[in-house]
Amino acid sequence: MTRTVIDPVTRVGGHLRIEVEIANGVVRDAWSSGTMFRGMELILGGRDPRDAWLFAQRICGVCTGVHALASVRAVENALGVTIPTNARLVRNLLAGAGYVQAHVVGFYHRHAFDWVDPMAALRADPAATSTLALSMSEWPQSSPAYFKGVIDRLTTVVRSSQLGPFANGYWGHPAYRLTPEANLLVVAHYLEALDWQRGIIRIQTLLGGKSPHPQTYLVGGMALAPPWGGPTRGLPGEHPQQVERGSPPALSARGLTDIGAAIADARTFVEQVYLPDILMIAGHYREWAGVGEGLGDYLSYGEFPGDDSTKPALFLSRGRVMGRDLARVQPVDQAGIAESVAHSYYTYGDGGNALRHPANGQTNPFYTGPTQPLANLEGSNRYSWLKAPRYQDEPMEVGPLARMAVAYVEGQKDVRAAIDGAAASLGVGREAFFSTLGRTMARAIEAQVVARQLDGWLEDLVANLATGDLALADLTRWDPGAWPGEAHGWALGESPRGALGHWVAIRDQRIDTYQLVDATTWNGSPRDAQGRRGALEEALVGTPLADAARPLEVLRTVHSFDPCPACAVHSYVPGAGGPVQIRVI
């Protein structure tokens, strides 16, 4: 039995350490450890609840805006605010664009090198690569000359012996399966995707003022305002804002047109580049449909409200798929969520290991990590800054695969068509999705489903503005004088990486307590009191390894979750002798 440590796990958002025990070329056990902690929830204590989203947003700058959205929703829930239709649609557009970007970047820039060997691409024949590209899609950047240019660019980088991000990769590893041409094709798309994401960033910047960290959210709606008189009534020359090319107000006629064009570009890239690449790669790695199955229990809080009611229909529905059973979806109740700290760097005040609901979150520091230098976590009972969230005492997997599984069973027709289509083109059954390969495919499929829906939200927004409804914020609860003395709120939604919940308690117009449970807290969870592994740990067990010193296969499964331990933060009170309830007045 040998122990392999990967620290830092790169191509993730945040700081992650993975340790695996290997016997006879197979992973027998695994530990996932978050090694960075900021304490954002404690910092929120005592603040103006209307400011909370700005703080919470800084939990993650990669899937940017998701915590801002969860935070304003939690405060709105506490104060009883219903946001206007326009604000709901703008929020859907901002979040949805983020999903498309996160999934494309998550694959090309964080995951692709686990499947693709750019050094092998140097041997590719440009003409054959062009033939391959044309056989896969209509994407126009597919000529032999184009691929020759990519090889030349790559060759220049390699000859300079400054390989940048490519330096010291596991190149030539026997687990790489693609032909030189397929490698070249994906490397070309890696470079294109770097440029492509500017279109998404433009959508976010128009609607949010900047990206990362869009800055137009408000408790009650959005700070955006349509031009005076509405988007259809242009007032050229009225104000410099109105006439700048390239920088139109987001909700002006030109701004909305620009957003529509950027959405079309985004969708085209997903449909003609990202999804075909995933299917092509999957064809070379079919055996990975049998690796990394993991827990088999999937949780989705659901996302993208489709109406303005207090219990809106969700574009991607809420529910659980248990035991890989695609026959039915089970309900989700926020009261069923609770966290264990048995193997985390915290203790509960009573010294016990009972699970606690986030609204009663109790977090005391108990760092028992080894002193430096740290060789490995062997013998460390506590080993992560992440808590271990459980639903009705069970560990769960969250993320695109969970969302697609729930939506599939619920009969969401876009999702059904995409999943069935992908399974058919690969010649595999639906059960193949419960795997490392399936997680990777589900992410691409979700990118397509959401990218197509962006247009629908934009059309709804344009239509609603055209009716003369220009409201973007409900201000009835803006003044703290209108608030009750005490209020509790929560929001369950989704981020690109999975289920995200925020819980807030407001007292005397200030934040009393604030807790959140993020997607990577679920997926990257350490063990609980019963010793059950988290989703990522469980998925790693059984992974075959060709070379324990170069654990490429482990990275494949780790990155199939697109982990973001930066999000998985929890608060802590230093030097506390006894039990400390997180309560800052």
Partner 1 sequence: MTRADDSLYAAMLQRGMSRRTFIKFCTAMTAALALPATYVPRMAAAVSAAPRIPVIWLRGQGCGGDSAAFLGASNPTAAELLFDLLSVEYHEMIMAPAGAAAERSMTDVQARYPNEYIAVVEGAIPTADGGIHCMVDGRPFRDVVRDVSGGALATIAVGSCASDGGSPAAAGGATGAVGVSSIVSSGPLLALPGCPVNARNLTATIVHYLTFKQWPATDSRHRPYFAYGGLIHNQCERRAHFEFGEFVLAWGDEAAQKGWCLYKMGCKGPETNANCPTARYADGTSWPVKAGHGCVGCAMPGFWDAMSPFYRRLPPPLPFAPTVSADQVGQALVGGVAGLTVVHGAASYVRQRRVGAQERREARAAAADGALPRQDLPGGDPDSVQPPVPADPTEPAELGEPDEPSTSDRVDVVAIDGPDPVIPINPADSPDPEAG
**Contacting partner 1 within 509-528 (CB under 8 A):** none
With beta carbons less than 8 A apart as the criterion, state whether 211 and 201 touch. Answer: yes
Task: Kindly report the number of other CB atoms within 10 A of residue 362's CB atom.
Answer: 18
Q: Does 316 bind partner 1 (CB under 8 A)?
A: no
Interface mask toward partner 1 for 156-175; x: CB under 8 A: xx--x-xxxxxxxxx-----
With beta carbons less than 8 A apart as the criterion, state whether 219 and 81 touch. Answer: yes
**Contacting partner 1 within 229-248 (CB under 8 A):** 229, 237-247
CA nearest neighbour of 516 among 532, 530, 499? 499
Rg (CA), the chain: 24
- Please say which residue, 207 or 450, places its beta carbon nearer to partner 1: 207
- Please say which residue, 212 or 349, places its beta carbon nearer to partner 1: 212
Please give the Cα distance from 28 to 2 (Å, whole number).
10
Binding range to partner 1, per CB under 8 A, among 2-10, 124-132, 406-414, 488-496: 2-10
**Contacting partner 1 within 195-224 (CB under 8 A):** 195, 197-198, 201-202, 204-213, 215-218, 220-224
Q: Does 6 bind partner 1 (CB under 8 A)?
A: yes
Please give the Cα distance from 538 to 237 (Å, whole number).
61
- Residue 569 C-beta: closest distance to partner 1, Å: 10
Tokens of 211: 């990206």
Please give the Cα distance from 470 to 581 (Å, whole number).
44
Q: Does 548 bind partner 1 (CB under 8 A)?
A: no
- Please say which residue, 316 or 554, places its beta carbon nearer to partner 1: 554
- Residue 415 C-beta: closest distance to partner 1, Å: 28
Question: Which one among 32, 64, 340, 521 touches partner 1, defined by CB under 8 A?
Answer: 64
- Residue 154 C-beta: closest distance to partner 1, Å: 9
DSSP assignments along 52-115, one per residue:
HHHHHHTT-TTTTTHHHHHHHHHHHHHHT----HHHHHHHHHHHHHHHHHHHHHHHHTTTGGGT
- Please say which residue, 195 or 333, places its beta carbon nearer to partner 1: 195
Q: Does 12 bind partner 1 (CB under 8 A)?
A: yes
Q: Does 372 bind partner 1 (CB under 8 A)?
A: yes
Please give the Cα distance from 119 to 169 (Å, whole number).
10
- Residue 306 C-beta: closest distance to partner 1, Å: 23
Q: Does 153 bind partner 1 (CB under 8 A)?
A: yes
Please give the Cα distance from 156 to 294 (Å, whole number).
42
Binding range to partner 1, per CB under 8 A, among 56-64, 416-424, 486-494, 531-539: 56-64
Please give the Cα distance from 293 to 178 (Å, whole number).
23
Q: ∠ at Cα 136 (174, 559), nearest 5°?
A: 45
With beta carbons less than 8 A apart as the criterion, state whether 58 and 92 touch. Answer: no
- Please say which residue, 390 or 477, places its beta carbon nearer to partner 1: 477
Question: Which one among 91, 103, 502, 550 touches partner 1, defined by CB under 8 A?
Answer: 550
Q: ∠ at Cα 291 (290, 292), nearest 5°?
A: 130
227-232, long-range: CB < 8 A, 24+ apart: 227/251, 227/252, 230/465, 230/466, 230/468, 230/470, 231/255, 231/256, 231/462, 231/465, 231/466, 232/465, 232/466
Going by the DSSP 8-state scheme, the letter that residue 473 receives in this structure is B
- Residue 142 C-beta: closest distance to partner 1, Å: 18
Residues that contact partner 1, how many (by CB under 8 A): 120
Binding range to partner 1, per CB under 8 A, among 226-234, 280-288, 396-404, 493-501: 226-234
- Please say which residue, 315 or 346, places its beta carbon nearer to partner 1: 346
- Please say which residue, 318 or 550, places its beta carbon nearer to partner 1: 550
**Contacting partner 1 within 73-112 (CB under 8 A):** 105, 109-110
**Contacting partner 1 within 374-393 (CB under 8 A):** 374-375, 385
- Please say which residue, 79 or 105, places its beta carbon nearer to partner 1: 105
- Residue 51 C-beta: closest distance to partner 1, Å: 5
Please give the Cα distance from 408 to 389 (Å, whole number).
25
**Contacting partner 1 within 123-152 (CB under 8 A):** 149, 152
Distances (CA, A) of 462 to 87, 230, 250, 260, 373: 12, 10, 11, 10, 58
Question: Which one among 308, 574, 581, 583 touches partner 1, defined by CB under 8 A?
Answer: 574
Task: Kindly report the number of other CB atoms within 10 A of residue 239's CB atom.
Answer: 12
Going by the DSSP 8-state scheme, the letter that residue 226 receives in this structure is P
Please give the Cα distance from 338 to 499 (Å, whole number).
14
Q: Does 466 bind partner 1 (CB under 8 A)?
A: no
**Contacting partner 1 within 338-367 (CB under 8 A):** 367
- Residue 190 C-beta: closest distance to partner 1, Å: 9
- Residue 296 C-beta: closest distance to partner 1, Å: 27
- Please say which residue, 86 or 440, places its beta carbon nearer to partner 1: 86
- Residue 297 C-beta: closest distance to partner 1, Å: 28
**Contacting partner 1 within 23-52 (CB under 8 A):** 35-40, 42-48, 50-51
Q: Does 260 bind partner 1 (CB under 8 A)?
A: no
Q: Does 477 bind partner 1 (CB under 8 A)?
A: no
